[in-house]
Structure 1
Amino acid sequence: MSADPIPLAGVIGWPIWHSKSPRVHGYWLNFLGIKGHYIPMNVAPEDLETVLHSLPKAGFVGCNVTIPHKEAVLALADEVSDRAARVGAANTLVFKDGKIHADNTDGYGFIANLKQNAPDWQPDAGPAAVFGAGGAARGVIDGLLTAGVPEIRLTNRTRERAEALAEHFGDKVTVIAWDRAEIAAEGANTLVNTTSLGMEGQPPFTLSLAGAAKGALATDIVYVPLDTPFLIEARKQGLETVDGLGMLLHQAVPGFNAWFGTSPAVDAALRDVVLAP
């Protein structure tokens, strides 16, 4: 009698060296004593389809997907979740019953991070200001709308990208020109930086957040550095802040549960592991 196969999962991207996902899932597997493996896979765009259809045959139960494959995998999936369809991208695949199931857990991870680290945050208390309209903004906007934020003010250096997102998500999203971006913060209850401004090697975030509502919450999806210029500016204005690392950690939970059969904890020990040199 053959032994039960050891489940395999991983993350595919191009390149993949920067991904923290192997550290996250590797810690959980070890901590929980689960016989399984999670590996990084460097997959070129032209090889994506071949690799995806080969992984289940090699014992893989699923995988994460990162840049530049998050949109392309939707066309290759047999089933797409509602939230992946809304976002227009997938970051989590489950291989089951001979089919590829695609999901997007970015919005879930974003909101779970805020709820864990700012438990008094009320998403429906007022509008949200979202800076940036790239791929990451899609998951953030979907998460905010799903959580009950009544209005999103979206501003981006390239206005056309913001307008495309506003059209995609509907009339709760209003576009504000980048040269008037500080208006987005006026009276906002939630402020989110999804731009690369403030990331290591990028220009700093220099916009004023002085007009935000009293007691507003500010968060940055960037986590390198952990304390970004955006968060520093927010604290100067007396705002509550939540760093971006928790989004990365929480978005990993649904996939781990689907692949390995348990929902792991996002706690201080996991943060220490991911932040270690």
Structure 2
Amino acid sequence: MSKPHAEVIGDPIVQSKSPTIHRFWLDKAGIDADYTHCHVTADDLADYIAARRADSYWRGCNVTMPHKQAVIPLLDRIDPLAARIGAVNTIVPEDGGLAGYNTDAAGFIEPLRDDLAGSHLFRMARIIGTGGAARAIIAALADTGHVLVVAGRNVDKARALLDELDPGGEHHVAPLAHFGAETDFAFDDREGCFDVVVNASALGMVGQPPLDFDFSHVPPQSVCYDIVTTPLETPFLKEAKARGFRTVDGLSMLIGQAAAAFEKFYGVPAPREDDAALRKVLTA
């Protein structure tokens, strides 16, 4: 391709919404560049990276499953946050080599930034899931001063994640079933506190088992956040809205992480003034 271009790689990849997002912004910004998707298998990954090194028009790529960890040894430099999370989702040519970043953490935090700009007496997050997405979310919430409760089918894996990602934190683990059962816990005064409950798993996604969650575990005034994008309004978010909680859907994280990558690829901030229109395009 004889103009600046970036892409998203993975296996499979045709389902990715990234080309739609980046092309929308390129058009709005008036940038003569492109963003596509490229199907790359595990066997092809090393050859793909080698070929892109020689492409002077290539501005980088986003990386999705199953390559976020496998690509790390093929790069020249890994950003400290990406190294800590143990996953790269953005690669860019930099200083004569290839650098790996993780924009998932920034993308997750973005819709909470106004809340976190203030001070709180206490911040707590309940996180459901211990998979790849949870790693970036755990790191992001630990770095913004939250005490974490991580729930998973395997509590040993949950504890290992916390010990790896924030070894100095006073965090907690729970079996996944803990949040499915009703509790009579009486929450104390939440004035000055900030609570977020996150579904960082695939539970509730189309084709996956439902998320078994009892809202007696949600403190008053919490933000309920679900990273699932299909459906966009999951049963978890639908019930949270019905109960009066503020909600954040999976497109928020997807668009946020894409914006961080866009600036690395094209050297200018993503034009975010038309996010509402972008959402309409993505959900059409």
Instruction: Using structure 1 for the length normalisation, give the TM-score.
Output: 0.90
Deviation of residue 183 (structure 1)?
8.1
Matches within 5 A, 1:154-173: 154-169=150-165, 170=167, 171-173=169-171
Separation of aligned partners in 2, 1:124 and 1:46: 50
Deviation of residue 50 (structure 1)?
1.3
Separation of aligned partners in 2, 1:95 and 1:126: 37
Q: Say if 1:122 and 1:15 are closer, same or farther in 2 by CA, change over 3 A.
A: farther
Separation of aligned partners in 2, 1:107 and 1:167: 18
Separation of aligned partners in 1, 2:117 and 2:198: 17
Among the aligned pairs, what percent are the same residue? 38
Alpha-carbon displacement from aligned partner over 1:118-148 (angstroms, at most 9, x marks no partner): 6898776331100000000011111111222
CA root-mean-square deviation? 2.3
Aligned match of 2:281 in 258, 273, 277? 273
Separation of aligned partners in 1, 2:81 and 2:223: 24
Q: Is the 8 A contact 2:182 2:216 kept in 1?
A: no
Q: Say if 1:82 and 1:123 are closer, same or farther in 2 by CA, change over 3 A.
A: farther
Aligned match of 1:112 in 110, 113, 127? 110
Separation of aligned partners in 2, 1:23 and 1:196: 22
* AA matched with 1:19: S
Separation of aligned partners in 2, 1:112 and 1:29: 21
Q: Is the 8 A contact 2:28 2:271 kept in 1?
A: no
Q: Is the 8 A contact 1:154 1:175 kept in 2?
A: yes
Aligned match of 2:265 in 259, 268, 275? 259
Separation of aligned partners in 1, 2:120 and 2:48: 40
Using the TM superposition, name which of 208-217 and 186-195 deviates more: 186-195
Separation of aligned partners in 1, 2:203 and 2:195: 21
Task: Give the structure 2 partner of residue 226 of structure 1.
Answer: 232
Task: Give the structure 1 partner of residue 48 of structure 2.
Answer: 51
Q: Is the 8 A contact 2:179 2:212 kept in 1?
A: no
Deviation of residue 172 (structure 1)?
3.4
Q: Is the 8 A contact 1:123 1:147 kept in 2?
A: no
Gaps of 5+ in 1: none
Matches within 5 A, 1:118-267: 125-149=122-146, 151-169=147-165, 170=167, 171-181=169-179, 187=187, 189-266=195-272, 267=275
Q: Is the 8 A contact 1:7 1:259 kept in 2?
A: no
Separation of aligned partners in 2, 1:30 and 1:172: 46
Q: Is the 8 A contact 1:219 1:231 kept in 2?
A: yes
Gaps of 5+ in 2: 188-193
Instruction: Using structure 2 for the length normalisation, give the TM-score.
Output: 0.88
Task: Give the structure 1 partner of residue 67 of structure 2.
Answer: 69
Matched position secondary structure for 2:68 = coil
Separation of aligned partners in 1, 2:51 and 2:120: 42
Deviation of residue 115 (structure 1)?
3.1
Q: Say if 1:82 and 1:271 are closer, same or farther in 2 by CA, change over 3 A.
A: same
Q: Say if 1:184 and 1:165 are closer, same or farther in 2 by CA, change over 3 A.
A: farther
Q: Say if 1:124 and 1:22 are closer, same or farther in 2 by CA, change over 3 A.
A: farther
Separation of aligned partners in 1, 2:242 and 2:31: 44
Deviation of residue 69 (structure 1)?
0.2
Task: Give the structure 1 partner of residue 100 of structure 2.
Answer: 102
Using the TM superposition, name which of 59-68 and 209-218 deviates more: 209-218
Aligned pair count?
270
Q: Say if 1:73 and 1:41 are closer, same or farther in 2 by CA, change over 3 A.
A: same
Deviation of residue 204 (structure 1)?
1.7
Separation of aligned partners in 1, 2:69 and 2:103: 14
